């Protein structure tokens, strides 16, 4: 069995990465926090820890429970879709009415900003029904095929999540030179607005 540990880890890493790399609401939010340098550690930690918990639940066989509660997924979808649309509207408002002196700041965030970032990150992570279907159900099903090595597979998926969010959050600072100009922030906020509004609308349509 030891000879199969590395392939199981790599398979889990690849599968986990394939599920989270696609640009979505959560990734767009992590990117924005990263380029601003606000609550990056907290946001990255929440995303990676949440994924690790969901992956563990999926590997542990919670997928059947998730599919047995369609009403709960519907409620989460409605709340998540509404939340993303509201966030998208706020981002669009920043594009149309940029704040005076808007640009990249490296002085750190105030306590209120950190608290807002944490709450927003938690909402984007846990109010998305697809995270339960993809991470818990789909990844859990793939892990089950690994038999005794399913937890090793899950560990690889957790590692992929950590590497991705850490790279996205801290690597975004490389864009600091470009995003020091207010016009560049309007472009980024425009991208965030489109992603949030589209994702929110898709959630509501699929839920209803």
- Span 183-200, pLDDT tens digits: 777 887 888 888 888 888
Judge whether 198 and 55 are in contact, CB under 8 Å.
no
For residue 26, what are the domain limits?
2-207
Helix, strand, coil shares of the chain, percent, nearest 5, are 85, 0, 15
Which of 9-13, 180-184, 186-190 is predicted with the least confidence, judged by mean pLDDT?
180-184
pLDDT of 75: 80
Q: What percent of the chain has pLDDT over 70?
A: 84
Which of 32-46, 99-113, 137-151 is predicted with the least confidence, judged by mean pLDDT?
99-113
Q: 165: which 2 tokens?
A: 């969010």
Judge whether 87 and 198 are in contact, CB under 8 Å.
no
Q: Is residue 173 scored above 70 in pLDDT?
A: yes
Of 150 and 180, the structure prediction assigns the larger pLDDT to: 150
Q: 136: which 2 tokens?
A: 């818990």
Over residues 109-137, mean pLDDT: 81
Judge whether 166 and 36 are in contact, CB under 8 Å.
no
Sorted by sequence, the CB contacts under 8 Å of residue 107 that are 6+ apart come out as none
Distance from C-alpha of 181 to C-alpha of 165, rounded to nearest angstrom? 25
Distance from C-alpha of 47 to C-alpha of 204, rounded to nearest angstrom? 23
pLDDT of 109: 45
Mean pLDDT of the chain: 82
Distance from C-alpha of 73 to C-alpha of 107, rounded to nearest angstrom? 40
Of 43 and 104, the structure prediction assigns the larger pLDDT to: 43
Q: Which residue has the tokens 């950590």?
A: 162
Number of domains in the chain: 1
Q: What predicted TM-score, i.e. pTM, was given to this entire model?
A: 0.76
Q: Quick count: other Cβ atoms within 10 Å of Cβ 94?
A: 17
Write a three-state SS string for 125-194: HHCCHHHHHHHHHHHHHHHHCCHHHHHHHHHHHHHHHHHHHHHHHHHHHHHCCHHHCHHHHHHHHHHHHH
């Amino acid at each position: 069995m030891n000879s199969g540990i590395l392939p199981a880890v790599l398979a889990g890493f690849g599968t986990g990465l394939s599920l989270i790399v696609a640009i979505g609401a959560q990734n767009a939010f992590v990117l924005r926090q990263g380029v601003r340098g606000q609550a990056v550690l907290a946001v990255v930690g929440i995303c990676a820890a949440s994924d690790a918990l969901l992956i563990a639940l999926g590997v542990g066989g919670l997928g059947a429970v998730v599919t047995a509660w369609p009403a709960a997924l519907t409620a989460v979808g409605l709340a998540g879709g509404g939340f993303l649309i509201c966030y998208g509207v706020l981002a669009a408002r920043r594009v149309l009415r940029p704040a005076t002196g808007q640009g990249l700041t490296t002085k750190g965030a105030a306590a209120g900003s950190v608290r807002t970032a944490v709450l927003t990150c938690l909402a984007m992570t846990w109010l998305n029904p697809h995270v339960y279907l993809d991470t818990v159900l789909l990844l859990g099903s793939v892990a089950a095929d690994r038999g005794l090595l399913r937890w090793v597979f899950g560990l690889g998926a957790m590692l992929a999540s950590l590497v991705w969010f850490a790279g996205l959050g801290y690597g975004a600072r490389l864009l600091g030179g470009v995003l020091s100009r207010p016009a560049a922030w309007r472009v980024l906020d425009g991208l965030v607005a489109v992603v949030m509004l589209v994702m929110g609308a898709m959630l509501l349509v699929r839920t209803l």
